[in-house]
Structure 1
Amino acid sequence: MYSPALPLTGWIFDVYPTSGGMVVWIVDAEGKSHRLVDPFQPSFYVGGPIKALRQLAKDLHRMRLAAPVGMTRRQEFWTGESRHVLEFLLLDPEQQPALLRQLAVPRPGITLYDCDLAPALTYCHARGIFPLAKVTVDARREAPGAGGMTNDQCPMTNAGTGTANPQSEIRNPELHYKVEGSAWDLEYPEPPLTLMALTGQGDEQGRGAPFGKLRSLAVACEGFDTTIEEGEPETLLAELNRLIRRFDPHAIITDWGDAFLVPALLALARRTDTPPEFDRETVRRRVRSTGRSYFSYGRVVYQAPSYPFFGRWHLDSRNSFILREAELAGLMELCRLSKVPVQKMARTSPGSAISQMQLDRALTDGILIPWKKGEPERWKTAWDLLVADKGGLVYQPITGLYEGVAEIDFASMYPAMMVHHNISPETVDCACCPDNAAPEIGYSTCRRRDGLVTGRCGRSSPAARA
């Protein structure tokens, strides 16, 4: 199951980093799961004085975190101008958190780009794939990276950085994918997935969701239903593992799984030394009791810590807005379009999916994505806010009974306006087009280049146009 013969045809089930590359899970037409490991080193870019770049290259090489490739030209996001930057390769995708900790140390004159992008996104972009894509995968042996440095690249020599060009190193064969169809297809083949539902019942402190002791565990899969009653923890875990081995589900769907059920089962496993077989590979787990709280639309929202599985999906219906509102089909659609793995997408918002689509577009266009992308809004007076933010105008009809009434709906009105007027963060009040101002508010939009948001909104899916 973990060392399939290539070529292999199936669906991209999951993608996540491992030591030296990315783990790719493929589900074939018979529903069998296959684990592949693809050597992968994502690129990131740094701008600044040559002396500072050389010192940074030495520091990262000494820490065995990244290696410089050479100088190249990329498009700056805010100005649209091409600038020279030094390209680095992250040597191990699993070490991205350690890299970001080192890059967070202030270095005068240094500007960082693309370093905090999710490895799954950069991998899918580099290989031309997306979650739930039907592919034929094979191995190919060639130099890693994008096929060598271009003519305008100036490699930093050993004398300058203390390291060799990583593109000359011999590595294991990387994977090559032949993708069937597009992420934007309205109709597409879906993988044959087996779903298992787990529901825990707790005591009177909250019926086990999210507080209380686990009293019983209901299991449903493929028309089979059973309830494992409270008893010896070893018996409960052994029976759960037996059912997981029997049905071998691709996805386990829970109620309060992140907040209660999974940590409760892990706590039982610590007492009995009988871990639940949620994962298809060996994983050392610990119980995490602290989630995060955030402010959204006038209320404080608590999100429990997530417990994703490896080789399977864990989908918590109580911790997933998308799964609750759009069900599994809608979740899979968003994953295809945004290049976000299913378990990650289930625990984020549709707005996050749109952000990932914009990042993917930036990678396609060769646009540098600055680290810590938050750009503070410029200061406005009370009068500026009054003029610019009037809100919508709503006509209230006279109360009564009417015949022959027609309803007109503006489909995707705001995105259509953004595309028509080229409204994007980097195109508003650009320096090159001050004469293209909007009435009253005085903001201008660029006429010389399309904005990142404009380009992504303009590439709407057939489903959005239907």
Structure 2
Amino acid sequence: MSPYTFEFEGDTVREWTLTDTGAESRLVTDYQPSLYVSGPDDALSDLRVRLESDPKLVATRYERLATDLHEAHAGDRSRVLRADLERVGEARTLAREIRGVYEREAYAPGTFRLFDVDLSPGFRYCLDRGIDPTPGRDLRTLSIELSEPALGDGDVSAVRVEGEPIGSAETDAVDVLRTLEDRLERDDPDILVVSHADLIPLLDERATERGLERFCLGRLPGLTRLAGENSYESYGRVGHSSARYRVPGRAIVDESNSFLWHQSGLAGLEYMIEKTGRPLQEAAWGSIGTLLTSRQIRLARDREVLAPWNKWVPERFTDVRTLHAADRGGFTFAPEVGFHEDVHEIDFASLYPRIICEHNVSPETVDCGCRDESSVDTGEATDALGGDGRRVPELGYRICGDDGFLPDVLEPLLEDRAARKRRLAADPSEEEAARLRGESGAIKWVLVACFGYQGYRNATFGRIECHEAINAYAREIALEAKRRLEDAGWRIVHGIVDSLWVTPRVDEPTPIGEVAAEVSDAVGIELERDGHYEWVCFVPRRDSAARMSAPEGTGKSSSGSTTAESAPAGALTKYFGKRVDGGYKIRGLECRQRNTSAFVAESQREFVEVLDREREPAAVCDALDRRLGELRTGSVDPRDLVVTNRVSKPLEAYDRRTRSAAALERYESKGLERSPGQSVRYVVVDDDTTGAERVRLPFEEPTAYDREWYATAVVRACESVVSPFGWDRRRIRSTRQDGQTVSLTTFHTDCCSDIPVRPPSGSRSHRN
């Protein structure tokens, strides 16, 4: 078996390899990590002389390697300086010195380009040594958790193992630690799954304080902090990364800091270890973008391509016409706000990754300038859309015919996901199905990220022209699908990038399965049937909904214009409907948002069910009355009213005393730190106050709540459900006051006569 986890101490590496009964270690003393530098020959020669006296270095030498995908594609190699280091942790230090000292003193900025700098230690080691860190047997896990209040108080007596307490009210910390020690020795886990990374040093500290010399969380004594916690901003969103720790011989999975673990579990994690070459613990804390980049770097090594540090590739100059065509996203069909019956949802399977593979889109193949471009002008290659297969629609970019790097990265993932979906359709055992779902989910997230990373300026192997080309192909595919669907008797009521919602526009349209197969053959990417709905409601944007609903009896919107002139604009990602098989699908509504309390979410799901059963918006208002009654009589359990919000700044940075700021004050008073990017959870108890008394934290076990604040939230959730019929809060309030029940038919013919309904011939839709 290959090693599955690694520890780095000074100039040595300890490899841990799984055995049938546990794990064994081996000490490696001859590992020398390397980074690479490219630049003009005279500058490299000068740099090499200056580095000879650096104590961090073991040796330097010249090699010929590709510094980007274009060089490898053209068969070229650059002369680069390789610097071998004593310790794996000194790569970034040396890189900063080269950039900030040697280059700054003697050369212009950008003279040197550096490579293989910011690789995580375990991943770097596996790359350099050709090690596959995929575990060679089934892994044993042990879950250790501690509640937030206990963690803040440093009270380890409340520790739970595998979800069960290992102590009681009479048990002290020493007994709990001894019980945990016995459990570790008995189970000998390969992975510790902890509720929060700070639990690791806390357990170690408490054991030391109480003189438990034999206590250790690893297979050997010791504990190392690998990185401190930090907050960061990505795509305008503040995130938080917890501190990271290492114990000898075991991997640690921090549940508070592992997206992949939450989405795909151990099965998805093991799959990504195999495909990326990242050791288990590094794969667990890595983001989806990090995992994708790791896979790219691993495959680039096979092509002798180095991974750039601080890549900077500017967008090339182009004419205004091309820029105008290129600077567009995926194609969307505006949703027809309203209630639609007999709706089919169809989507292109992994559209963007399949475009990359089908059309060979890759940084080195787009306008590469190589010999293959001669085939463009002679028209030798054509694609399924009938155009020039070597040119990107609208943009005219030329695509080389040589096998591209990105298709090599993605094709195995696409094939694996398709195989797992086929196996799931064959009704496997529950154990196998859980594994397949985990692996398929992990693949899905990497495939989702692959397109966006082409437009990300810091992507290691990204290029904006690839991003533009993929979008151009996607737009062409969407329009081709639209044409064929309409010719077959279908009408598109909504479409967003890779998904379409269609309903019959004639009495007997061509069966949707036949049309989907025809489109698939035409564009070379499978168009799948994702769902058949009895009905679907597309929700208006909130600002549009306010304009579309006129005061009763006026025929005018609140702005004074006629409602017909203020047709509602649909929210692209907000809709709900009932599948033919009886299940509901809800997207974008409050019950799908993480900051919605359980009571409000449950209320909204009930509103959808009532609408389905009664087909009367006013009946939803009756359900709303019942829910408001529960709130106002105080019969709702405050535990069902917990709100979760992500904070974007520290407490002292808040100018306005918001509810999140109030929650931060209470966390601070309890000794619990909350950093930007982390979530706060609270119950609103008095929204009229401005300080910490405005909210209570869940573990404070509040007994009261602000009934009006939660009532407003429930009404807003109700409005989202009835808004496709032109109802807003004013209409809801009016209906509740007069107690009149209004049917859908009455709604369309009487109650909203100011909103014209002109469905085309054969339509099965009710629209505003």
- TM-score normalised by L of structure 2: 0.45
Of 26, 29, 36, the match for 2:26: 36
2:368·2:399 contact (CA, 8 Å) conserved in 1?
yes
SS at match of 2:144: strand
Amino acid at match of 1:93: V
1:196·1:219 contact (CA, 8 Å) conserved in 2?
no
Amino acid at match of 2:149: R
Kindly state the Cα deviation for residue 14 of structure 1 after the two structures are TM-superposed: 0.9
2:259 is aligned with 1:318: no
1:346 aligned partner = 284
2:119 is aligned with 1:117: yes
Determine the C-alpha separation between the residues in 2 that align with 1:12 and 1:224: 32
2:159 is aligned with 1:218: yes
Amino acid at match of 2:123: L
Amino acid at match of 1:280: R
1:306 aligned partner = 244
Higher helix residue share: 2
Aligned pairs for 1:259-298 within 5 A: 260-269=198-207, 271-272=209-210, 274=212, 276-283=215-222, 285=224, 291-296=229-234
1:92 aligned partner = 87
Amino acid at match of 1:84: R
Determine the C-alpha separation between the residues in 2 that align with 1:357 and 1:57: 31
SS at match of 1:307: strand
Amino acid at match of 1:26: T
Of 394, 414, 419, the match for 1:440: 394
Of 207, 225, 229, the match for 2:149: 207
1:393 aligned partner = 332
1:234·1:272 contact (CA, 8 Å) conserved in 2?
yes
Determine the C-alpha separation between the residues in 1 that align with 2:325 and 2:273: 39
Amino acid at match of 1:113: F
Determine the C-alpha separation between the residues in 2 that align with 1:26 and 1:53: 40
Write out per-residue CA displacement over residues 284-314 of structure 1, whole angstroms, 9 at most, x where no aligned residue: 54698x6222334654222221223331122
Determine the C-alpha separation between the residues in 2 that align with 1:379 and 1:19: 48
Amino acid at match of 1:441: L
SS at match of 1:35: strand
1:215·1:229 contact (CA, 8 Å) conserved in 2?
no
1:198·1:217 contact (CA, 8 Å) conserved in 2?
no
1:17 aligned partner = 8
Of 413, 431, 446, the match for 1:460: 413
2:156 is aligned with 1:251: no
Write out per-residue CA displacement over residues 399-422 of structure 1, whole angstroms, 9 at most, x where no aligned residue: 5543xx876442222111112333
1:75·1:83 contact (CA, 8 Å) conserved in 2?
yes
Kindly state the Cα deviation for residue 234 of structure 1 after the two structures are TM-superposed: 4.6
2:445 aligned partner = none
Aligned pairs for 1:167-182 within 5 A: none
Determine the C-alpha separation between the residues in 2 that align with 1:11 and 1:224: 34
Determine the C-alpha separation between the residues in 2 that align with 1:376 and 1:50: 24
Determine the C-alpha separation between the residues in 1 that align with 2:95 and 2:222: 24
Structure with the larger RCO, 1 or 2 (CA within 8 Å, 6+ apart):
1
Kindly state the Cα deviation for residue 35 of structure 1 after the two structures are TM-superposed: 0.6
Distance 1:111 1:285, change over 3 A: closer
1:102 aligned partner = 97
Determine the C-alpha separation between the residues in 2 that align with 1:287 and 1:265: 17
Determine the C-alpha separation between the residues in 2 that align with 1:261 and 1:70: 45
2:67 aligned partner = 76
Determine the C-alpha separation between the residues in 2 that align with 1:230 and 1:428: 69
Deviates more, 1:32-41 or 1:57-66: 57-66
Determine the C-alpha separation between the residues in 2 that align with 1:122 and 1:73: 20
Determine the C-alpha separation between the residues in 2 that align with 1:425 and 1:270: 54
SS at match of 1:216: helix
Distance 1:208 1:394, change over 3 A: farther
Structure 1: unaligned runs, 5 residues or longer: 1-9, 135-190
Q: Which has the larger radius of gyration?
A: 2
Determine the C-alpha separation between the residues in 1 that align with 2:324 and 2:211: 61
2:141 is aligned with 1:195: yes
SS at match of 1:389: coil
2:167 is aligned with 1:227: yes
Of 295, 298, 301, the match for 1:357: 295
Determine the C-alpha separation between the residues in 1 that align with 2:167 and 2:364: 56
Amino acid at match of 2:86: L
1:388·1:441 contact (CA, 8 Å) conserved in 2?
no
Structure 2: unaligned runs, 5 residues or longer: 377-389, 420-768
SS at match of 2:6: strand
Aligned pairs for 1:144-159 within 5 A: none
Amino acid at match of 2:155: L
Kindly state the Cα deviation for residue 389 of structure 1 after the two structures are TM-superposed: 1.3
Report % sequence identity: 26
Amino acid at match of 1:36: R
SS at match of 2:159: strand
Kindly state the Cα deviation for residue 274 of structure 1 after the two structures are TM-superposed: 4.7
2:363 is aligned with 1:419: no
Distance 1:428 1:212, change over 3 A: farther
Kindly state the Cα deviation for residue 390 of structure 1 after the two structures are TM-superposed: 3.8
Kindly state the Cα deviation for residue 82 of structure 1 after the two structures are TM-superposed: 1.9
2:159·2:176 contact (CA, 8 Å) conserved in 1?
no
Write out per-residue CA displacement over residues 64-91 of structure 1, whole angstroms, 9 at most, x where no aligned residue: 3234453332123154232222333233
Aligned pairs for 1:154-165 within 5 A: none
Determine the C-alpha separation between the residues in 2 that align with 1:114 and 1:343: 20
2:5·2:16 contact (CA, 8 Å) conserved in 1?
yes
Write out per-residue CA displacement over residues 376-416 of structure 1, whole angstroms, 9 at most, x where no aligned residue: 556898994675314233475895543xx876442222111
1:141 aligned partner = none
